[in-house]
Structure 1
Amino acid sequence: MIKISEAINIITKEAKLLEVEKVHILSSLNKILAEDIYSKDNLPSFDKSAMDGYAIKSEDTKNCESKNPVELRIKGIIKAGDYYEEEIKCGEAIKIMTGAAVPRGANAVIEIEKVNTVKDKLILNSVVKKENNIIKMGEEIEIGDLAIQKGKMIRPAEIGLLASLGYKYIHVYKSPVISLIITGDELIEIDEEPFMGKIRNSNEYSLRALIDNLNGKYISLGVVSDDKNILKEKIKYAFENSDIVITSGGASVGDYDFIEDVLKELGADIKFTTISIKPGKPVTFAVYNEKLFFGLPGNPMSIITAFEEFVVPAVNKMMGKNNLVKEEITVVLADDFKGKKGRTKYVYADIIKENGRYYAYNVGSQCSNHLITLSRANGIVIIPADIGSVNKGEILNGKFIFK
């Protein structure tokens, strides 16, 4: 068995950055930008009002105070999207809405709630500073400025910014195509009733959801029976049509576990077959023509753990992300947790922040086929290989899972 950190290092070394593709900005969410984005405009492209109020000349209020109010004549109104053609003169004011263009000659906007009006007269009782409540042209960004740097993950905020700058299409790094091969004669469809010796094919649905969570793409090759020749053809096809191949089950040492034999026959370079982790020990990682292969265990908790810990870093690197693995946090154990020495243990728990610290609560059995435990958890506690059971109050590392 190799250590978890060693396995991740081997995987990320073999994972290669994918090609660039041009996509519509609405298809770029959570992808990594593959180009620098420069502003084609000044934002805003005109001086605009930050408030509902009145556009005025600030010098008209030079000596204004409650005992010496100033009266200005209201000439009209400007709503957002309109433009006032005339130039405002001394002693005049224009009612203006938020986002509307400030008229020529005006250099300040006074909030509507700070003034009084009588018919067409605006009454002010205090000095208004120059540029008050005015967002200046180019204040946000100017033509030619770098707006979004290459390597940035596109979030809803970036999509909004791209739209405001007139970018409809951008270049991003491709998401990997992942082929899924689920092995096992014991598997039936999820809408079938289980009978003696059969179980529903939950692993495929877990893997599809995990890939969707990463913004990846998948090809499902369905359930493959425990037949070496059929498995070989499926894996060969998957290598030809995807960037990553994942199998579920068949990676152990049973009489019907053919993964390692098939990889050798295809000429794949097998890097390792077991990792010192619980759950998720039997993980086979191989490389074939720069395509990555992950033979994951068949137990539901094991396959999800192995995917999050070992597949996710590879996908992140291929998509151009900088943070390949999830950040670890310090957690205080709120309950006792059982374990045995020998392998690093990932114990699923409910991690809650209380009084500035993270506390980990027991959510039930850690048996590797218990999905119900995963559904109750939002993170894991990491128990080192040289430690067995741990007790309430001890401090360990942990991390949140999924998103």
Structure 2
Amino acid sequence: MIELEKAIEILLENCMEMKREITVSLIDLDGRILSEDIYAKLDNPPFNRSPLDGYSFNHISSKGADENRPIEIKIVGEICAGDYFEKNIEVGECVRIMTGAMIPENCTCVLRQEDIEEKNGNIIVLKELKLYENFCHRGEDIKFGELILKKGTKLNYTHVGILATMGISQVKVFDIPTVGILSTGDELTDISNELKPGKIYDSNLYVIASRIKNLGMNYKIFGSYGDNPEEVKNIIKENIGDVDLFITTGGVSVGKKDILHEVVNLLEGSKLFWKIKIQPGTPVLASKQEGKILLSLSGNPFAALINLELLGRPILSKISRDKEINYRRETATLRGEFLKKSSNRRMLRGVYSDNKEVRIESNHHSSGEVLSTAGINCIIDIQPGTEKLSNGEKVKVILL
């Protein structure tokens, strides 16, 4: 039996970051991990651009202008956004220009609409403009050849906007990991079947698949199997090559029908560890098969959930190259109390709030109970030897 942190260390040493790459269009990039550096294909803006509505001219045309010595500049055209003005603008000439429009050659400033008076086809300028006043330079945002997005970036809508600005329609990203899921136990019945005496519905299969999907991963459900080591071995062996992580539930303790130990031996893989020092979720078995981790969780619903969160998420974070998938820890103030002594390291259901307080919502803490998991968003991590937890006490929490 090993500490939780040591188990995580072993798992991370035995899994690899995703190497498969796929090409994805811009509209489907949100949340994907970039697998290549992206360099600018052009300048942005791609031309000198007006930041406002007004008139553009060579700043020399306004030299010496003030309220006592107004200067008239002749209007020779108009440019809207998307237009191109071919004529060269001479000193003493100007064009009316709209926000975002391309500034013509030889124009070195823009005077805003509110600051001029128009008269007889001229504008009346009452102040001297500086070189490049109200002037957006070509490439002042992004320069051609500049590194704009690094490999490993988790993409969101802002990155999509940058790529679209560059005229890039698709990029290479790392493929999303796929998790294989299988449950074991003679007592299990699929939810599509009638529940017979002595049987229970298989909830673990659906909880794990739902959580894997919620974390942004793909999954393949291989179904529920009885306590037949040979059959379970065959299913894993036939399918482990098609997934990046294989998760099973049930059959990991010391009972007569805890078959996963035998399954691991039949697969001839390498056992990484069995049992971790937490409660619930102690009997978890980890092994390595064909270069992939086989993570065999407890069959008790809350214990399986604890195992998935504390062990599965760090694996998926590394494989997917997505650091956000891993959980984070906080220190919170307990609102309520837990009077039971924790001889071992104990994990309790909790509800964490933004003011760094945590509540224990239920007195039902059994690893087989499911109703008390509804609405939880954290696990309260109680250290071994803790006599009790009192209201207002500082506790460690793991955010889900």
Cα distance change, pair 53–240 in 1 and its aligned pair in 2 (3 A): same
Give me the TM-score of the superposition, normalised by structure 2: 0.87
Q: Is 2:287 the partner of 1:301?
A: no
Q: Is 2:41 the partner of 1:40?
A: yes
Cα distance change, pair 251–139 in 1 and its aligned pair in 2 (3 A): same
Separation in 2 of the partners of 1:52 and 1:388? 72
Measured against aligned partners, the alpha-carbon deviations of 1:233-276 in whole angstroms (never above 9, x if no partner) come to 21222323322111122222233221111111211211112111
Structure (1 or 2) with the larger CA radius of gyration: 2
Separation in 2 of the partners of 1:141 and 1:171? 21
Q: How many residues of Structure 1 are paired with residues of Structure 2 in the alignment?
A: 398
Cα distance change, pair 101–5 in 1 and its aligned pair in 2 (3 A): same
Separation in 1 of the partners of 2:84 and 2:264? 70
Partner residue in 2 for 1:23: 23
Separation in 2 of the partners of 1:159 and 1:33? 11
- What 5-or-longer segments of structure 2 have no aligned partner? none
Matches within 5 A, 1:266-345: 266-321=267-322, 325-345=326-346
Matches within 5 A, 1:68-107: 72-107=73-108
Bigger shift: 361-370 or 131-140? Answer: 361-370
Residue identity matched to 1:9? E
Partner residue in 2 for 1:381: 380
Separation in 2 of the partners of 1:325 and 1:147? 26
Residue identity matched to 1:277? I
Bigger shift: 154-163 or 364-373? Answer: 364-373
Partner residue in 1 for 2:140: 139
Cα distance change, pair 58–195 in 1 and its aligned pair in 2 (3 A): farther
> SS of the residue aligned with 1:49?
coil
Cα distance change, pair 159–342 in 1 and its aligned pair in 2 (3 A): farther
Asked if the contact 1:188/1:194 (under 8 Å) is kept, the reply is yes
1:222 is displaced (CA, Å) by: 1.3
- What 5-or-longer segments of structure 1 have no aligned partner? none
Separation in 2 of the partners of 1:317 and 1:49? 46
Asked if the contact 2:230/2:266 (under 8 Å) is kept, the reply is no
Asked if the contact 2:57/2:93 (under 8 Å) is kept, the reply is yes
Q: Is 2:395 the partner of 1:396?
A: yes
Partner residue in 1 for 2:8: 8
Measured against aligned partners, the alpha-carbon deviations of 1:105-146 in whole angstroms (never above 9, x if no partner) come to 222334445556578555565555443443321112222222
1:181 is displaced (CA, Å) by: 0.6
1:312 is displaced (CA, Å) by: 1.7
Asked if the contact 1:31/1:319 (under 8 Å) is kept, the reply is no
Cα distance change, pair 74–213 in 1 and its aligned pair in 2 (3 A): farther
Matches within 5 A, 1:57-72: 57-64=58-65, 72=73
Asked if the contact 2:190/2:224 (under 8 Å) is kept, the reply is no
Bigger shift: 104-113 or 385-394? Answer: 104-113
Cα distance change, pair 132–335 in 1 and its aligned pair in 2 (3 A): farther
> SS of the residue aligned with 1:42?
coil
Give me the TM-score of the superposition, normalised by structure 1: 0.86
1:366 is displaced (CA, Å) by: 3.5
Asked if the contact 1:52/1:112 (under 8 Å) is kept, the reply is yes
Measured against aligned partners, the alpha-carbon deviations of 1:123-171 in whole angstroms (never above 9, x if no partner) come to 5655554434433211122222222222222223223323333433433
Residue identity matched to 1:344? R
> SS of the residue aligned with 1:348?
strand
Partner residue in 2 for 1:362: 360
Asked if the contact 2:75/2:121 (under 8 Å) is kept, the reply is yes
Partner residue in 2 for 1:173: 174
> SS of the residue aligned with 1:376?
coil
1:390 is displaced (CA, Å) by: 1.4
Bigger shift: 107-116 or 180-189? Answer: 107-116
Separation in 2 of the partners of 1:281 and 1:388? 20
> SS of the residue aligned with 1:247?
strand
1:46 is displaced (CA, Å) by: 1.1
Separation in 1 of the partners of 2:339 and 2:67? 74
> SS of the residue aligned with 2:103?
coil
Asked if the contact 1:184/1:223 (under 8 Å) is kept, the reply is yes
Partner residue in 1 for 2:214: 213
> SS of the residue aligned with 1:278?
coil
> SS of the residue aligned with 2:354?
strand
Bigger shift: 3-12 or 129-138? Answer: 129-138
Residue identity matched to 1:360? V
Bigger shift: 3-12 or 35-44? Answer: 35-44
| Aligned residues with identical type, % of pairs | 29
Asked if the contact 2:71/2:125 (under 8 Å) is kept, the reply is yes
